[in-house]
Amino acid sequence: MSIPPSLGEDVRRVRQARRISQTAFATATGYTQSYVSRVESGEFMPSMKFAEVCDRTFGTGDLFVGQLRRVLDGEYPAWFAPYIDAEQDATAIRDFSTIFITGLLQTEAYARVSLTGGRPNLSARDIDAKVASRLRRREILEGPDPPRVWVVLYEACLRAQVGSPEVMAGQLKHLLDEVRRHHTLTVQVLPYSSAEAGIGVPYVLLDMPEGKPCVFVEGPQGGRPYEGPETVANSAHPYDEIRASSLSPRESVAFISAVRDEHERNAVDQKQLQRQTREATASSGPRVSCPAGTGWFRCGTVRTPLALRCRFP
């Protein structure tokens, strides 16, 4: 999912007008050159903090903050906005996902399917905005001081087909790639055989810089954060048990890889079936066959008198 071209292009134009190299700008702002390059090329949606740094470095008032705010306006439901703010500031994130893979690690294709399911009234523009905002959450893993992220996925997250086998294969490949890329990210799988250790709802524990952790629980009507010490403790203890009952990080990588292979095989089978169906449909269409001396020709599976042949030029 790309950002509006003008935003990334404007960052590049202003930077070049100030005669600041991409490397120097990255060093000055604390972001990697790769991050800056992806923002300028329109490949990556920047964070609000990045927009603030741009305005401060370039002396552009609130130009970039205002641009980004207009892009992001209305993308998150009101009940989810507090979590996004907390996630960006958290020093540690512990996530337990039950059906859907956490949004922090989703691909564009997977996010698009999960966001459009059951929402037929969403416009294409709204969908694009929501997908962009979800993908932008990845940036916390790209920063100079990323949080410690621990994700436990119930096996159903890997096997439930969101979209198509091809979408799932791509999602699991991305998951494996992210684990390899980010040393602060750990993913474990809670297998069906250890389901008794899990709980029925997804939730996230966040450790905040000021030392006041919170837990965010999502339900059918939305979600809400809890900050009470007792509530946080009652959520942390089950999480530790879930993590202990899960496959080890190395075993989890092997398990995810195996399930990805299954989705890839299913994707190939599905394409072959679709091709065979198209070929069968094409072969059963109107065609003329008039064996010598029969006086009949075949249209599909119906034998028709030769006298009617003029209807099929």
Please write the tens of the pLDDT for every residue from 178-237.
999 999 999 999 999 999 998 888 999 999 987 788 998 877 666 777 888 888 988 999
Question: Is residue 105 predicted with pLDDT exceeding 80?
Answer: yes
For helices 63-72 and 124-136, the axis angle rounded to 10 degrees is 120
Token reading at 68: 């980004």
Residue partners of 59: CB distance under 8 A and separation at least 6: none
Worst-scoring range by mean pLDDT, 4-8, 65-69, 101-105, 301-305?
A: 301-305
Show the domains of the chain with their CATH numbers: 5-72 (1.10.260.40), 81-267 (3.30.870)
> 106, 170 in Cβ contact below 8 A?
no
Residue partners of 130: CB distance under 8 A and separation at least 6: 75, 115, 122
Span 287-307, mean pLDDT? 47
Span 286-304, mean pLDDT? 49
Question: Is residue 287 predicted with pLDDT exceeding 70?
Answer: no
Look-up of token digits 């604390």: 30
Question: Which of 83-97, 193-207, 214-228, 252-266 ranks highest by mean pLDDT?
Answer: 252-266
Amino acid at 210: E
Question: Is residue 78 predicted with pLDDT exceeding 60?
Answer: no
Q: How much is the mean pLDDT over the chain?
A: 84
Radius of gyration of the chain (CA): 26
Question: Is residue 248 predicted with pLDDT exceeding 80?
Answer: yes
State the pLDDT at residue 297: 44
Output the CA torsion sign for 81, 78, 100, 236.
Answer: positive
Span 240-249, mean pLDDT? 96
State the pLDDT at residue 253: 98
Higher pLDDT, 45 or 12: 12
Span 138-149, mean pLDDT? 90
Worst-scoring range by mean pLDDT, 120-124, 133-137, 272-276?
A: 120-124
Question: Is residue 291 predicted with pLDDT exceeding 60?
Answer: no
Report the C-alpha gap between 47 and 25 in whole angstroms: 16
> 89, 137 in Cβ contact below 8 A?
no
Percent of the chain with pLDDT over 90: 48
